[in-house]
Amino acid sequence: MGLKDKKKQQPEQRKYLRLDTVFPVQFRLETPDGKTLLSNWLQGFTNNVGPGGLCLCINNPDPQLLKLLDERKFKLSLEIDIPISNKPIAARASFVWVQDVGGDKRKYLIGLNYEQISANQNSKLMRYAWFRKLFVPVVSSLVVILVLVLGINSYINIKLTSGNKLLVEKLALVLKDSTLARQKIEKVTAERQNFQSKLRILEERIKSIESQKAQIETGNLNRVNQLNDLISDLTKEKAILESQLAVVLISETKVAKELSELHEKKEILEKANFDKMYQWLKIHQNSRTGLVMSFEGDKEIANWSFTYDLALLVQAYTQFGDYNRAQKILGFFAHNAKRENGWFLNAYYVDDGGPAEFIMHSGPNIWLGIAIMQYMQKTQDNSYLALAKSIASVIMQMQDKDFDGGIRGGPAVEWYSTEHNLDAYAFFNMLAKVTQDRQYSNAAEKVINWIVKNTYDRKDLPVKRGKGDSTIATDTYAWSIAAIGPQKLLELGMDPDKILEFVEDNCSVEANFLRANNQVVKIKGFDFAPSRHVARGGVVSSEWTAQMIVSYKIMEDFYAKKGNLANADKYKKKSEMYLSQLGNMIISSSSPSGQGQGCLPYATSDHVDTGHGWMTPKGKHTGSVSGTVYALFAYYGFNPLELKE
């Protein structure tokens, strides 16, 4: 009888569950009293394992071993290797059965029962065996679940992206219909006014003729009849005009109702789209550094975060009550951002916070200080006041070196910017208000004196771009209203209305903008500089147009408080008109993480000269943090250059 048949004669000895688990095993044969039959350790592996024993598999055994196996008058000394144990698990086992499986490699299976094995080692062996047994199905299940979750998430993202894009398109459609309705009502109104004017003239002629008739002598019947005929003809003409006027009035009422309904839709869609724009600002914040890419879509600077943009973001997050997000940015500048002699750099990399460029300008540093003051005003958290004071300190050190008390564009430049000095005036006033420290109010006074002397000194040019620089820059006009205020400007001998009229006459443009659906729309807004001064033609800046809207709202409030409702209404209409134009510029985020959320491009044209030494970013639909944030400021009427109670 051979080994192949011997398993059939053995009764089933397994009283436990065996696991299909493979471990390397070294073994050697010993007599019952412990003497070694073969000196060398032989190689095998487990076919399955249980708490009371295991099944040992041997491939191509030596003939001498087969002879010993056939006799079965020995024990097996085992060393079982498992990955979680530094040393092999030692055991001694006896035979239960032997089976010749056959095949090319002549595989033999040997059933063994443990006679000696450490309880701890046996438990470790079984735990690992169970882990191996369950690992594959558990992992497979997790993979299936993960695939399902990713699939569901992708579906949700697709639906969300589609919905967000549709929201942008709906607003564009309503704005287009509103524009057509306004044009229609302007035409109908002009017709009504024309008919009303003609009626007034007819009524005056009829009254005049009736007066002439009353003065005619009784005997002049022919003249009376002539005048009666003329009155009759004019009365018929009047009736026709009144009939035509009635039709026009009905049409005007109908169009006015249509415009009112569109206005309601526009307000709802504007609110929804501007809320989505804020969501776009949130989802792009890096969870580790707290920074946000400034331009989504320009691959060359896709990982750049500009200090000025981050300062705007701190204020946006603060105004929306997302204080943790604001703190992440402020914490970066307080603890991690590289500084040079107290100056922050103009830009940092989003992913690790390292320097993106080693340029330091006054404006971005001052704006960071302004952001801290706005955060403190809203939260009453003074944690970053020391940081704001340190920024003010380096700015004032620079100011002290200037005879007129002006502030240069940065520590390594000689030019002076009106914009930077307006920023500093607002920042120092904020610090003076919060700290009651006279040094800051003195610094603010020096700045305003410098501004009056160097940039408000020409009647034909209300605001120069800087000291000795007569270039027109839109933001210096808008920020003159926002930083100094209309009342203070009047006290300084400046006319805020004339300032705004000048920039409207010189920098207001209408430019073509290509939407994502390849539809070209006309956008009315403000250029970076007079378009006649640059060869590229007119370009609308989303950020600088939004700055002008903020200024219009300041002027509206200024005149409303004075009781001048006509001027207040004039500025209100301007702010609403330009805000609608910005609504027509809203694009859907192009990145997967953006989920189609609305945002604003930096300008209506990409990669063109602003006229001030830099180019607009590349990419037809590159989302801009500064353009988007300032549009939110414009929509909600928030002036970042003023601390409000």
| Region label for 405, one of left (φ > 0), alpha (ψ between -120 and 50) or beta (otherwise) | left
Q: Cβ(129)–Cβ(89) under 8 Å?
A: no
What DSSP element (H or E) covers 180? helix 119-215
| Better-scored residue on pLDDT, 175 or 546 | 546
pLDDT in tens, 266-307: 777 777 778 888 989 998 899 999 999 999 988 889 899 999
At 289, which amino acid appears?
A: T
Q: Is the pLDDT score of 444 beyond 80? A: yes
| Region label for 145, one of left (φ > 0), alpha (ψ between -120 and 50) or beta (otherwise) | alpha
The closest of 601, 576, 631 to 515, measured between CA atoms, is 601
At 526, which amino acid appears?
A: F
Q: What is the reported pLDDT for 171? A: 66
Unique residue bearing structure tokens 């890419």: 293
pLDDT in tens, 301-350: 989 999 999 999 999 999 999 999 999 999 999 999 999 999 999 999 99
Q: What is the reported pLDDT for 595? A: 58
The Cα–Cα gap between 548 and 540 comes to 12
- Interaxial angle between packed helices 542-562 and 565-583, expressed in degrees from 0 to 180 and rounded to the nearest 10: 160
Q: Is the pLDDT score of 12 beyond 80? A: no
How high does pLDDT run on average in the chain?
A: 86
Q: Cβ(357)–Cβ(345) under 8 Å?
A: yes
Confidence label for 53 from pLDDT (cuts 50, 70 and 90)? confident
pLDDT in tens, 521-571: 899 999 998 877 677 788 999 999 999 999 999 999 999 999 999 999 999
- pLDDT above 90 as % of the chain: 45
Mean pLDDT of the region 506-511: 94
Q: Cβ(530)–Cβ(507) under 8 Å?
A: yes
Which tokens go with 568? 């207040």
Q: Cβ(372)–Cβ(383) under 8 Å?
A: no
Q: DSSP readout, 436-493?
A: --HHHHHHHHHHHHHHHHHTS--SSSS--SBTTB----HHHHHHHHHHH-HHHHHHTT
Mean pLDDT of the region 170-195: 78
Q: Cβ(69)–Cβ(62) under 8 Å?
A: no
